Amino acid sequence: MADQAHAVPKDGHSGGTRREFLYLMTAAAGAYGVASVAWPFISSMNPSQDVLALSSIEVDISSIQPGEGITVKWRGKPLFIRRRTPEEIKAAESVNIAQLRDPQTDKDRVQKPEWLVLIGVCTHLGCVPQGEKSSEPRGEYGGYYCPCHGSQYDTSGRIRKGPAPLNLAVPPYTFTGDTTVKVG
C-alpha cells in the first residue's frame, strides 16, 4: 500500500509516467526492429546487381536512313533511335513550347539535332508507341502514335494529344563516334 502511495506524485499526476515512458521506448525499439528486419525483404525485390549491370549498351547507327528509326532493347525496354529529316527537325524546333503539356524545347531533348534518342514507352500506361518505321502510323504530329489509348507525340517525342501526361523520356547517352551511340 505504501508503494502505491509513492506511485502518485504530489502534483496529482496519477499513473506511473515512468512506466508509460518505458512502454513507449519498448514499442519504439520494437518498431525499429521490425522495420530493420523488413528492410532486406523489401530491398530484395528491387533490381538486383546483375539487372543493374546490364544497363548500358552501344549501338551502331550507321545504317539508319533519314526519316527512319531503329528499336533496340535497353534495360528490358524498347529504345528508339531515329534519324530525323530536316523538315522533322524544323517542325520540332518551331513549336511554341508555351502550348505544350510538358514544356521542353527540342534543344533540351537532343544532343545532335539529326538524332532523336528516346525510351519507347508511352508515359500513360507503358505501351510501345508506333512510328519508328515510316510505314507505321505516326499520328497528327509526325512523331509517334500509341495504339493503346491514342496518345500522340511530335518529332521531338513530346506529348501533344491524348491521355499521356509527359513527353517520351530521354535516356542518358553519349556519342562515342560518328556512327555509334552509347546508352546508359
Partner 1 sequence: MSKHFKNPVVRWIDHRLPVFSYLDHEANEYPTPKNLNYWWNFGSLAGFMLITMIATGIFLAMQYTPHVSMAFNSVERIMRDVNFGWLLRYLHMNGASMFFIVVYIHIFRGLYFGSYKAPRELLWQLGVLILLLMMATAFMGYVLPWGQMSFWGATVITNLFSAIPLVGDKIVTLLWGGFAVDNPTLNRFFALHYLMPFVILAVVMLHIIALHRFGSNNPIGIDTKGKQDTIPFHPYYTTKDIFGLGIFLIFYAFWVFYAPNALGDPDNYIPANPLSTPEHIVPEWYFLPFYAILRSIPDKLMGVIAMGASIAILFVLPWLDRSPVRSGTFRPVFKWFFWMLVFDCAILMFVGKNPPDWFWQPFAMHVTPAEEVVAAAGVADADALWPITFAGGTLGIKILLLGQLATLYYFAYFIVVLPLLSIFETPKRLPLSISEPVLKGGGKAAVAHAHSKPMEKA
Where do contacts with partner 1 occur on this chain (CB under 8 A)?
A: 42, 45-48, 51, 55, 71, 73, 75-78, 120-121, 124-128, 140, 146-150, 163, 165
Q: Is 13 annotated as catalytic?
A: no
**Minimum distance from residue 125 beta carbon to partner 1 (Å):** 4
- Give yes or no for a contact between 96 and 154, defined as CB atoms under 8 angstroms apart: no
Beta-bridge partners for 78: 73
Three-class SS state of 129? coil
**Minimum distance from residue 115 beta carbon to partner 1 (Å):** 20
**Minimum distance from residue 128 beta carbon to partner 1 (Å):** 5
User: Choosing from 6, 13, 124, 149, which is the catalytic residue?
Assistant: 149
**Minimum distance from residue 127 beta carbon to partner 1 (Å):** 4
Of 24 and 166, which has the nearer Cβ to partner 1?
166
Cell of 64: 539508319
- Give yes or no for a contact between 61 and 81, defined as CB atoms under 8 angstroms apart: yes
Of 4 and 46, which has the nearer Cβ to partner 1?
46
Cell of 103: 514544356
Of 103 and 165, which has the nearer Cβ to partner 1?
165
Cell of 114: 539529326
**How many other CB atoms sit within 10 Å of the CB of residue 60?**
12
CA distances from 173 to 120, 166, 170 (A): 15, 20, 9
Of 16 and 137, which has the nearer Cβ to partner 1?
137
CA distances from 118 to 32, 42, 155, 172 (A): 42, 31, 11, 9
Q: Catalytic residue numbers?
A: 149
